[in-house]
Amino acid sequence: MKKIFITIMFSLIGFAAAASTAQAQILSAPVTTDSARIAISPYAQAVPNDSYTFMAISHPSLDTALTQIGVVLEVLGMTTIPNDAGGRSVTFTVDAGETHRIFIVDAGNTISATNSLFSDSRTHIITTATTAQFGNVRVVGLNEDPAGATTVGSTVKYDNLSQLNMWGIVFIPSSGTGFAMEFIGDAHDSTIGAVSNGLSPNGPNRFTGAARGIN
């Protein structure tokens, strides 16, 4: 019995290590047209000595949300360092109750991974070239079946972007001002993915469930 227990423990450790490795190998946003996996913000910028972009992604622990939701955030239309798929993307898992913050800044900005104020595991930095950069933001959920439900106890839960809250600002430090970013496809504006016989997936008169995401 003891040998069997040890064998099972080593198997579980191996599985966890493999899962961790797979997560680490995701260096760019998956290619998908599934609207339930995608959220977008139409504008972002990083201008040396002028402005940068800040975003936050929160897991508000909705009843319909699994406790961990993996995402990839990428910037498009900007020259990044390095200027490849990995350089323009950050991959992370948002746990229940957590908020992750993302900065898009030029290479000369004091916001960097070498600054202890921005080096924790829930802070992610995308570095751009030291010229004015303008583009947009795309967030992709790592779960390939965003409409697939998991029942925990008696509650139906989902792993998709409609369970997360996203917000951001293009910030101008010199004046302490900026303008807000709109995200399309997160918890603020997503709806259930399908209705059958007038009922939502979670029962009558309920308006939670698998996200439709971007229309």
**pLDDT tens, position by position, 108-167:** 999 999 999 999 999 999 999 999 999 999 999 999 999 888 999 999 999 999 899 999
Residue 11 covered by a domain: no
In the predicted structure, residue 91 carries a pLDDT above the cut 50: yes
Q: How many domains does the chain have?
A: 1
Mean pLDDT of the chain: 82
In a 10 Å sphere around its CB, with 0-12 CB exposed, 13-18 middle and 19+ buried, how is residue 129 labelled?
middle
Residue at 10 is within a domain: no
- Count of CB atoms situated within 10 Å of the CB of 75: 25
Q: Is residue 107 part of a domain?
A: yes
The answer as to whether 44 is a domain residue is yes
Residue 170 belongs to domain spanning:
26-181
C-beta separation of 90 from 73 below 8 A = yes
- Please enumerate in sequence order all residues whose Cβ is within 8 A of that of 172, keeping only pairs 6 or more positions apart, or say none: 50, 51, 178
Residue 211 lies in a domain: no
Residue 74 lies in a domain: yes
Q: Once rounded to an integer, what is the mean pLDDT over residues 162-182?
A: 95
pLDDT of residue 185: 87
CA distance 122 to 132: 26
Q: Does the residue 98 lie in any domain?
A: yes
Please indicate, yes or no, if residue 109 is contained in any of the structural domains: yes
